[in-house]
Amino acid sequence: MELTLNNGIRMPALGFGVFQTPPDETIHAVQTALDLGYRHIDTAAAYGNEREVGEALRRSGIDREDVFLETKVWISDYGYDQTLHAFDKSVGKLGIDTLDLFILHQALPSRFDLTIGAYKALETLLEDGRVRAIGVSNFMPHHLAALFERTGVVPSVNQIEVHPYFAQRDVQDADAAAGILTQAWSPIGGITAYREGGANALHDPTISAVGASYGKSAAQVMLRWHLQQSRSAIPKSVRPERIRENFDVFDFALTDAELAAIDALDTGIRRGPEPDQITLEAFGREIPDA
């Protein structure tokens, strides 16, 4: 299943995430995903495993152009020149020439000038054909509005926290109004499991009951919910059986009533960092050159 971005580029809707996947487990995880049919990998400079993602791609033997590679520039590398350099760092580690999707990992509200400079670098890379699409992550509607005022290319993607317990409808609506594809991070509520406190979406009784009627797991139901609502989703796992399970979602469909029942689970409670509180002081860290 593919989605078409606002510049005509096609992207597999279901990708594979590698946040918190240790470098020494990344090659195996990504190779497993590619063997099982995933053709879209989401990494980030800040994850420290771009090199291993690239190595897995090479070892898979799959043609470069058949895999959609997405990575993110970290806030410490914002600013026009710094972000151009960050691109060189990322493609150098990945061992590729052209990136499919390059996105800003966060807005940096306290230094929005640097955020704009970084995005302008993405626009240059797009114009030069070094990236096929550009985008953002964790942008709220007011960040998008501020970006639109000072830049020319509408982002193709906004990657944000979306799972049944935190759907961010306001951001999804702002994305849709601008022609931006919403991509869900923590799509199966991983953050509700690995962050202490609050309920775990993977154990939600409504979601589990829907899954039981199809012989599917809660994770599979959540992934269908995203796909049927035209979002991209990038579940992460290091376990082969779960990597397989998370890709085995194309042989059933949720009804409108089931989609609505999952929509109704939204608590409005964010589990990830508050986007307006991202600062260089609190979150900045050096991304090595190689």
Residues at the site binding ligand NAP, with contacts judged by CB under 6 A: 17-19, 42, 105, 137-138, 159, 185-191, 193-194, 202, 217, 219, 234-239, 242, 245-246, 272
**Which is catalytic among the residues 38, 47, 78, 165?**
47
Nearer to ligand NAP, 55 or 161 (CB): 161
Name the residue with the smallest CB distance to ligand NAP: 190
Nearest distance from C-beta of residue 90 to ligand NAP, angstroms: 14
Nearest distance from C-beta of residue 280 to ligand NAP, angstroms: 16
Nearest distance from C-beta of residue 154 to ligand NAP, angstroms: 19
Closest Cα to residue 90, out of 289, 246, 226, 284? 289
Nearest distance from C-beta of residue 189 to ligand NAP, angstroms: 6
Nearer to ligand NAP, 45 or 114 (CB): 45
47 included as an active-site residue: yes
Distance CA 246, CA 187 (A): 11
Nearer to ligand NAP, 231 or 236 (CB): 236
Nearer to ligand NAP, 251 or 256 (CB): 251
Question: How many other C-beta atoms can be found within 10 angstroms of the C-beta atom of residue 213?
Answer: 12
Nearest distance from C-beta of residue 151 to ligand NAP, angstroms: 20
Nearer to ligand NAP, 198 or 272 (CB): 272
What residues act catalytically?
47
